[in-house]
Amino acid sequence: MPQVAGAVALHSSLCSMSYEKPSSPSRSTVHVVPKPTSLLQNHPLYPQTHAKHSLELKEKILCLEVMGVDAGKALSQNPDLRTVSMESIHSIISFLMSKGLQEKDLPRIFGMCPKILTSDIKTDLNPVFDFILQELKVPEHSFRRVVNKCPRLLTSSVKDQLRPAFIYLRRLGFKNLEALAYQDSVLLVPNVENTLNPKLKFFGDSGTFQG
């Protein structure tokens, strides 16, 4: 698809450092090794792994900053970014753009929800878009509008958050799917354990409805 190709080209150009190999063997064997201060640093593999991880982390920071994302904040909110591969990040970006999101949307979306960058496309993101399409009745060409309204949808579990909240709101009489999708989608992402379940239990115990 043209959008996917565009996404790959864009982020390959922004973060191409992550795929570059050393131009000569000598470069890959030169390491600046700090004076060991612990037993871990005395391990023979420590200099190589430490240098490798440091380089990868710098590449991720550069890539995030070039995209317009506060890398420090993103790494603080999602420590898994330190270990995820650049290839995985590229795949996430390409997938989102294939769903209609645009380059200019990414800084805000990733800035608000850096967890998206370490999501699993098959088990985390695809189910959310299926939910938006099938249960909120949002056509594919409007996915961008819904996600931009509430990026947190992409970090919410369909099974544990979105669908239970959807059922809860419907039982309360919230019938306007268009309003729920385009205006009030934040109502679908409460904390299930601390907010949704106590309310469901309260109404169930009081006999308002049968859960």
Average pLDDT along the chain, 211 residues, taken 10 residues at a time: 46 46 42 40 45 71 90 93 92 97 96 97 98 97 97 95 90 89 91 58 53 40
Q: What pLDDT, on the 0 to 100 scale, is given for residue 92?
A: 97
Q: What pLDDT, on the 0 to 100 scale, is given for residue 205?
A: 56
Determine the straight-line distance between the first and last CA of the chain, rounded to whole angstroms.
44
Tell me how many domains the chain contains.
2
Residues 99 and 186 in one domain: no
Q: What pLDDT, on the 0 to 100 scale, is given for residue 172?
A: 80
Q: What pLDDT, on the 0 to 100 scale, is given for residue 8?
A: 45
Residues 107 and 193 in one domain: no
Decide if 84 is inside a domain. Answer: yes
Residues 91 and 134 in one domain: no
Q: How far apart are CA 99 and CA 91, in angstroms?
A: 13
Decide if 24 is inside a domain. Answer: no
Residue at which a domain ends, from 91, 119, 147: 119
Distances (CA, A) of 89 to 11, 33, 145, 184: 9, 29, 22, 29
Decide if 193 is inside a domain. Answer: yes
Q: How far apart are CA 174 and CA 89, in angstroms?
A: 37
Q: How far apart are CA 12 and CA 63, in angstroms?
A: 10
Q: What pLDDT, on the 0 to 100 scale, is given for residue 35?
A: 40
Q: How far apart are CA 157 and CA 106, in angstroms?
A: 21
Residue 94 · residue 7 · CB < 8 Å: yes
Q: What pLDDT, on the 0 to 100 scale, is given for residue 140?
A: 97
Residues 126 and 111 in one domain: no
Decide if 32 is inside a domain. Answer: no
Q: What pLDDT, on the 0 to 100 scale, is given for residue 210?
A: 45
Decide if 30 is inside a domain. Answer: no
Q: How far apart are CA 156 and CA 110, in angstroms?
A: 14
SS3 132: helix
- State pTM to two decimals: 0.69
Q: Which domain holds residue 165?
A: 120-211
Residue 57 · residue 15 · CB < 8 Å: no
Residue at which a domain ends, from 66, 101, 119: 119
Q: Hey, what are 100's tokens?
A: 């209609």
Residue at which a domain ends, from 88, 119, 150: 119
